[in-house]
Amino acid sequence: MTVRLNLTQELDLPIEADTITPSHFAGKSLADIKKLPVIQGNQTLQISDFFEVSGETGDSPDATEIHVSGDLRKVKMIGKGMNGGRITVEGDVGMYLGAEMIAGRIHVKGSVGAWAAAEMQGGNIQIEGDAGDRLCAGYRGSIEGMSGGRVYVAGNVGREMASHMRKGFIAVRGNVDELAASKMKGGTIIVCGNVAERIGVSATKGMVFVLGRLESLMPTYLFSGVSEREFTNYYLRYLRSRRPDFLKEPVPVTEKWTKFMGDLAEGTPKQEIYVRTAQNGHLH
């Protein structure tokens, strides 16, 4: 069953719409959905004050799909804490999309603001445009970042992606800005484009694969050899099976990869960064 929300006005102030999830909609009538709270500034308003609502809900979150359309760049927190079901966003959307998500699927046919998938625990998010700063990161002051789930970004990603990441999988077709994977403690990241400087600050565990150019590495990362690495092909096959459009060119099985270990400033860490040797001769 599908519920359709169409934003009917141009927003002068952002709204916080964390009630737009299948869990909040499941089992409710359209009249009840229209009354769900939405916050704008210091006011608590209703979904019907901003959206035209139509369609029908399912009996459970997994049986409920939500389609959201309109100029959503000032609409925050869609899918926050989502625990099942599906959300499709037709275009660009604001901050905190899918933050603290537990289960379900979100598909954004545009770009997302900062803090998307912040402290995500599970589920699947597909972003066809760009993602802002702090994708899959922990909140300020928190030591818990992404702990599960999968996120795919077809465009570029801003600063501080995956800080405090513990588990999960992130794939980026484009480029990633500086300070990615800071304080990373686990999980896997594949970047098909380029990565800016200061990757992996204070990281202790996890794997990052860079298919493009890695701008630089901190001196606290140790060169750990150049070789063909069969297991990298496993991760690339996995990505190709989910998003074949992410791999702009075939990567030969005989490709040589340069491995770095760090961050040595953290004692005896197990963070592994793999870069394609042919694209990153400046690093060794």
CA distance 28 to 269: 49
User: Residues 201-246: pLDDT tens digits?
Assistant: 999 999 999 999 999 999 999 999 999 888 899 999 999 999 999 9
Q: Which residue, chain included where needed, has tokens 């035209």? A: 52
Query: Which string of b and e fits 241-277 if b means at least 16 CB within 10 Å?
Result: eebeebbeeebeeebebbbbbbbeebeebebbbbbbb
The per-residue pLDDT for range 101-137, each reduced to its tens digit, is 999 999 999 999 999 999 999 999 999 999 999 999 9
**Among candidate residues 91, 70, 93, the one with its CA nearest the CA of residue 18:** 93
Residue 36: which pLDDT band, with cuts at 50, 70 and 90? very high
Q: Which of 72, 126, 73 is nearest to 98 (CA)?
A: 126
Yes or no: say if 176 and 155 are a contact pair by the CB < 8 Å rule.
Answer: no
pLDDT band, residue 23 (cuts 50/70/90): very high
Residue type, 18: D
Give bridge partners of residue 125 from the DSSP assignment.
106, 151
pLDDT tier, 284 (very low <50, low <70, confident <90, very high otherwise): confident
Confidence (pLDDT) at 268: 79
pLDDT at 253: 87
Residue 191, pLDDT above cutoff 80: yes
Looking at residue 249, what is its pLDDT? 84
pTM for the model stands at: 0.96
CATH architecture of the domain 2-283 equals 3 Solenoid (2.160)
End-to-end CA distance of the chain: 55
For the chain, domain boundaries? 2-283
